[in-house]
Chains A and B, each alone.
Chain A
Amino acid sequence: MDALGHFMMALVALSTPWMLFHVLWSTLLGIFVGSLPGLTATMGVALLTTLTYSLDRDAAILVLICMYVGAIYGGSRSAILLNIPGTPASAATALDGFPLANQGKAAYAMSLATAGSALGTLVGIAIFVMLAPPLAEVALKFGTFEYFWLAVFGIVISGQLTGGNSPLKGYIAGLLGLMIAMVGSEGIHAHVRFNFGLAELNGGIGLIPAMVGAFGFSEVLSAMWRRSSKMTDKPNSKSSSMPKLSQLWQQKYNIIRSGIIGTIIGIIPGVGEDIGSWAAYSATKRFSKVKELFGKGSTEGLIAAETGNSAVVPGALIPALTLAVPGSAASAVLIAALFIHGVRPGPMIMIEQPEFIYSIAVMLVFATFAIAVYGLSLTKLFVAVLKVPRAYLMPIVFTLCVIGPYALTQNMFDVWVMIGFGLFGFLLRQMNYPMAPLVLGIILGDLMDKSLRRGLTLSDGDLSPFFTRPISAGFAIVIGLSILLSIPIVRLQLQKLFSRLTNGAVITHLTGENNVK
């Protein structure tokens, strides 16, 4: 009841005409950003952060959340019409969305994607409201030892899950992020490290210029490098574009399952929407009665992918707000934006600003309604937006990449940092290094460094508290197992062992049955 009361109070407080105006423009902008291949949700949130400096706290966070939700949803437009995911989160959407569009059901597919995204976000919001406050309470029990393991856990899991076939590349990206975080004045003795004689590096590398470079400039380079794509020649159909309620009702288990999977993936640090979408898609395929339709225009697959990626957004905000550990790359930028606007995410948030979590839930609800309204009413406009030539769009994006980071500090050094990270990010992408662990490393580097050295000081150099305190021990075991399981030889041996045990059990079972006979 207390939660509902807080939620209603936040709803009333945020339901002002000015806030609703912010919801309308920022969600629409988010959908445009997401729908244009080459512009990602993280890039949108990073660029928009630089435009929200002058807004008040709630309006700024509302605008960024609407951009985030809108962009993740918007990615489905180009996935369906161009077979090119607008954002990496919509890769699974393209598998069934584009075949549906080629069958002349593009509008229907876009409506299904809208319904999936909206319902997925709502499932995520429900879990967000239920989980965030108790998680913040648990996090209050975290000491310096636990925070060290939490940072390591984030990097290891993110590296493993986003590294694809090569978790090693994920780990290396995470280590690079941690190394970048070592630049500048450290948090215990204020000793300046790795500044290479540049006074501008004494305060460390700014997160916003680094993110704008890694996700903005590098995307501009990638987009111009790629050959342009061809839109489906059957975007408009004469058949009904709106899914019937009965059709959606048939998908209720799919939506709930995909929503829960997406939210859980969102909670895992630094994993993100693309993994949430794929996980929901494969789970739905496993449970489906018409598996053969997957990849050929399955409505189940399309709904699962969209529900999964949209549910990651509220999920990713759970650790971001309660532990200050981002669940996705875009939520990492949101953490930076929260600090800029005077909000300190972390376990103390439920003590210092208990209403804030419910305000975020209301903002997510607003964004969800906005994507539902826009998605069902502006299909033709989105088709037109996809025709905007890259030749005119990309220089505008790059101009914003330059002026955005500069606006925060009015220092040209931040523009150079943006350029440096853009080139670095582009090279890493071409070599198949995931960006999420890198970002997570930059965010968590300071926490890991301070927690390890503070913990060692408290224990007088003794390492045992890192392994004997209950929560620490739990983290250490999970991290150890994750790393072990990512080693191919260990995985192979385990598979052999399991198959031997299973075969042995089957033989014993059969022998037992024969003996009985």
Chain B
Amino acid sequence: MFVGGLQMDRLEVRHIHPASIPGLVPIILGLFMLLCAGLLFRSSITKGQSEAADSSKIRGNSTKNLLITLLCCLVFALVFVGNLPFIVSSTLFISVFGMTFSWPAKAGKRAKIKSVCISIIVGVTAGTLISVMFQYGFLVRLP
């Protein structure tokens, strides 16, 4: 931001006041960010050991769940939306997401079929309702 502000056009051809150049605030922000980064770096060195103990709270979380969520969301938003009709992509996304996270791996066949059925019902209902609401309620041309 600091370098960008320094290199920014000063608009001399337009004879603007030198104090109103567009890069002024980015330069100041860049300087303050450098200062804060330096201070944070210094404090992280002194606090390094005590903060390492805090990482224990992250251990209770599920990285696998996070990565699957991230994958599902990114595939839906960046690949499906725009390439498939929205009603299809949203139904597919909600159903697959629900199925993935409600899958009873250790349970019997009956529980698995139930999980698949519920996920599909939720997916179809929510996907259709959201699409209809935006398309006909708010007159949005869906992607």
Contact = CB atoms under 8 A, between A and B. Distances in A.
Interface of A: 51, 53-54, 166, 168-169, 171-172, 175-176, 178-179, 182, 186, 188-189, 191, 193-194, 217, 220-221, 224-227, 389-392, 394-396, 398-400, 402-403, 406-407, 410, 412, 415-416, 418-419, 430, 448-449, 452-454, 456-457, 460-461
Contact of A396 (B24, B61, B126): B126
Contact of B19 (A191, A402, A412, A453): A453
A325 to B, nearest CB: 18
A457 B19 contact: yes
Contact of B98 (A193, A392, A410, A452): A392
Nearest to A441: B29
Nearest to B20: A453
Contacts of A217: 73
Given A406-B140, A453-B19, A456-B20, A391 B26 contact: no
Given A172-B33, A396-B94, A461-B18, A403 B66 contact: no
Contacts of A454: 20
Contacts, number: 170
Contacts of A457: 17, 19-20
Given A191-B11, A220-B73, A410-B141, A399 B93 contact: yes
B124 interface: no
B70 A221 contact: yes
Interface string B118-134: 11001100110010011
A406 to B, nearest CB: 6
A460 B1 CA distance: 25
B9 to A, nearest CB: 7
Contacts of B70: 221
B102 A389 contact: yes
Contacts of B122: 392, 396
Given A171-B36, A175-B33, A182-B1, A407 B19 contact: no
A395 B97 contact: yes
B81 interface: yes
A400 to B, nearest CB: 7
B104 to A, nearest CB: 11
B101 A399 contact: no
**Main DSSP-derived SS at the A contact region:** helix
Contact of B40 (A172, A392, A400): A172
Contacts of A53: 138
B77 A402 contact: yes
9 A-B pairs with the lowest CB-CB distances in the bound complex, closest first: A391-B101, A456-B19, A395-B97, A224-B69, A453-B20, A191-B22, A391-B102, A395-B94, A225-B66
Given A182-B25, A407-B134, 18 more contacts: A166-B43, A168-B36, A169-B40, A172-B33, A172-B40, A175-B36, A178-B25, A178-B29, A191-B8, A193-B26, A227-B61, A399-B93, A412-B143, A419-B78, A448-B25, A452-B25, A456-B24, A460-B19
Contact of A221 (B11, B16, B69, B134): B69
26 contacts: A51-B133, A171-B32, A171-B36, A179-B29, A179-B33, A191-B8, A193-B8, A224-B65, A225-B61, A225-B63, A391-B97, A391-B101, A391-B102, A395-B97, A399-B93, A399-B94, A402-B77, A403-B130, A403-B140, A406-B143, A407-B134, A410-B140, A419-B73, A419-B74, A453-B24, A461-B19
Most buried by B among A396, A412, A430: A396
Contacts of A171: 32, 36
A460 B122 CA distance: 64
Nearest to B66: A225
Contact of B16 (A182, A189, A225): A189
B25 to A, nearest CB: 4
Nearest to B99: A391
Nearest to A449: B25
Contact of B97 (A176, A186, A394, A400): A394
B127 A179 contact: no
B81 A392 contact: no
Nearest to A416: B78
Contacts of A448: 25
A460 B17 CA distance: 8
B127 A227 contact: no
Interface in B72-88: 72-74, 76-78, 81-82, 86
B110 interface: no
A407 B73 contact: no
B11 A189 contact: yes
Nearest to A182: B26
A168 B43 contact: yes
Nearest to B90: A399
Nearest to A193: B22
Given A403-B130, A419-B77, A225 B40 contact: no
A394 B73 CA distance: 10
A225 B62 contact: yes
A226 B20 CA distance: 48
B14 interface: yes
B94 A54 contact: no
